[in-house]
Amino acid sequence: MRLRFGLTDGLHVIARGRLSVYEPRGEYQIVVDYMEPKGVGALQLALEQLKQRLSIEGLFDVNRKRCLPAFPGAVGIITSLTGAAVQDMITVLHRRCPILRIIVAPVQVQGEGAAEQIANAVRALNDMGEVDVIIVGRGGGSAEDLSAFNEEAVVRAIARSVIPIVSAVGHESDVTLADFVADVRAPTPSAAAEAVVPVSLDVLARIEELVLRSGQAMSRRCGNERQRLHLCLARFTRLRFRILEEAQRVDAAVLQMTQAIHGAVKDGRETVNRIKHELMTRSPRTRIHQGLGVMPQLLSRLCGVMQHGLHRRRQVAAAGFTSLHHLSPLSALSRGYSIVETLPSHQVVCDASQVSTGQELLARLAKGQLRCIVQESLSDSSVLK
């Protein structure tokens, strides 16, 4: 667990420890106290392994890097107060922009605990919310002096920062993991200060140039618009005369329409009066009086025709009732005849062969009915005998 690099199969290492015997199996074993890769230092191997792991996580991707603000109002510096780097950066920042606000977060840049201080300083400046860009850096040194900027805590703190960070660790030839994860890498602390802040004089000169160019552009635009205005006024004058001419034409048309409407109304009134006179002469009231004089005669004639028709239809109905009475079987029953039906189907018996001995029959008389039982079925020849 104390190794700074990972053990893998096939790795050649130099180990130092003590020998002992595992008595249950009688095997020799070595208890290792120190180990380093053969041919490669432990720090270098651990650095390469950490770099590979963080690269796989995407902390070094170019797509996640952000652009620096063009005109920052406040710059945060994370470095040691005892080194020359902080003075160089402050001098360059003040020279380029005297009104710039600088917040220095003093930390230990090498030795035990340096990585934690740097990571805490990054988080503290983010929590303040007053800084637009952060410079993390220090002067040159050996690989061991710069090792704090290769620690995983520092790399992850820079990756989580919401404020753009410029890495300026050592000289141009020195490369640390902080350079890979930072949004911008500067070769030196002074170069980092130049990268985050533009020269105020250059900005003022650029602003003056833009003001001059904008004034010239506005003058040209005003001249063009003034010419367009004169043209529009000239066109408006011509349009005004055209409108006056059209107004006169409209007045004449209105007068003609008024006269035409008055004439049409006059003609309409004359037509209405003529139709009214014709209606009065052809009033239906006269025809109604004439019709009322003829109605009693027509009513008398209608009553006579209706009475004659009713009398004739009564005679026809009486003759029909007489014929129906003669044709009705009920009249035959009044002369002593009867209608014999089988029970329970009520089928009329017309032939003696339709019934059998002992069958129950129903005899309908002119008045009443008889329920009979057949004792014997006789043919017409037997009855004659």
Angle, helix 42-57 to helix 152-160, in steps of 10 degrees: 20
φ, ψ for residue 168, nearest 5 deg: -140, 75
Backbone torsions φ then ψ of 166, nearest 5 degrees = -110, 125
Same domain, 232 and 206: yes
Q: What is the pLDDT of residue 40?
A: 53
Token reading at 280: 């009065």
3-state SS, 263-315, equals: HHHHHHHHHHHHHHHHHHHCCHHHHHHHHHHHHHHHHHHHHHHHHHHHHHHHH
Q: Tell me if 102 is assigned to some domain.
A: yes
For 23-62, write each residue's pLDDT tens digit: 888 889 888 888 877 655 666 777 777 778 877 887 878 8
Print pLDDT tens along the chain (385 aa): 777 767 777 677 788 899 988 888 888 988 888 887 765 566 677 777 777 887 788 787 888 888 888 888 899 999 988 888 888 888 888 888 888 889 999 998 888 888 899 999 999 999 988 899 999 988 887 777 788 888 888 888 888 889 999 988 877 777 888 888 888 888 888 888 888 887 766 667 677 778 888 888 888 888 888 888 888 888 888 888 888 888 888 988 999 999 999 989 998 988 888 888 787 777 777 677 777 777 888 888 889 888 988 989 988 998 888 787 777 666 677 777 788 888 888 888 888 778 888 888 888 887 888 888 888 877 766 554 4
Is residue 103 within 8 A of residue 127, CB to CB? The reply is: no
- The verdict on 231 and 183 lying in the same domain is no
Could you list the residue range(s) of the whole structural domain that residue 91 is in?
Answer: 69-198
Tokens 């902390």, residue located: 59
- Same-domain status, 75 and 177: yes
Instruction: Specify if 26 maps to a domain.
Output: no
> Does 265 reside within a domain?
no
Flag whether 288 is in a domain.
no
For residues 152 and 252, membership in a common domain is answered with no
Q: Are residues 74 and 192 in the same domain?
A: yes
Distance CA 201, CA 208 (A): 10
Q: How many CA atoms lie within 13 A of 173 on its CB side?
A: 4
Tell me: do 236 and 353 sit in the same domain. no
Indicate the residue among 174, 198, 222 that finishes a domain. 198
CB burial of residue 106 (10 Å; 0-12, 13-18, 19+): middle
pLDDT at 133: 92
Strands 165-169 and 184-185: what pairing? parallel
Closest CA to 134 of 52, 184, 76, 92: 76
Would residue 274 count as lying in a domain?
no
Residues sharing a CB contact under 8 Å with residue 113, sequence separation 6 or more, in sequence order: none
Q: Are residues 164 and 208 in the same domain?
A: no
CATH number at residue 157: 3.40.50.2300
180 and 223 share a domain?
no
Is there a single domain that holds both residue 125 and residue 176? Answer: yes
**pLDDT score for 75:** 92
Query: Which residue, of 198, 233, 268, is where some domain finishes?
Result: 198
Query: In terms of domains, do 158 and 243 share one?
Result: no
113: DSSP letter: T
Place of tokens 């640390």: 176
* Residue 361 and residue 242 share a domain: no
In the chain, the largest separation of any two C-alpha atoms, in whole Å, equals 169
Residue 125 lies in a domain: yes
Domain-ending residue, one of 198, 221, 236: 198
Q: Determine what percent of the chain falls in helix, strand and coil, rounding each to the nearest 5.
A: 55, 15, 30
Comparing C-alpha atoms, which of 115, 162, 163, 161 is closest to residue 138? 115
Q: Average pLDDT over the chain, rounded to whole?
A: 83
pLDDT of residue 380: 65
Structure tokens that stand for 156 in this block: 């992850």
Considering the domain architecture, whether residues 357 and 372 belong to the same structural domain is answered as yes
In a domain, 60, yes or no: no
The pLDDT value given to residue 43? 65
Query: Is residue 89 domain-resident?
Result: yes
Helical residues (DSSP H) of 73-146, grouped into ranges? 84-96, 114-128
Please say whether the dihedral angle defined by the alpha carbons of residues 53, 58, 59 and 62, taken in this order, is positive or negative: positive
Pairing of strands 101-106, 74-79: parallel
Distance CA 299, CA 294 (A): 9
Q: How many domains does the chain have?
A: 3
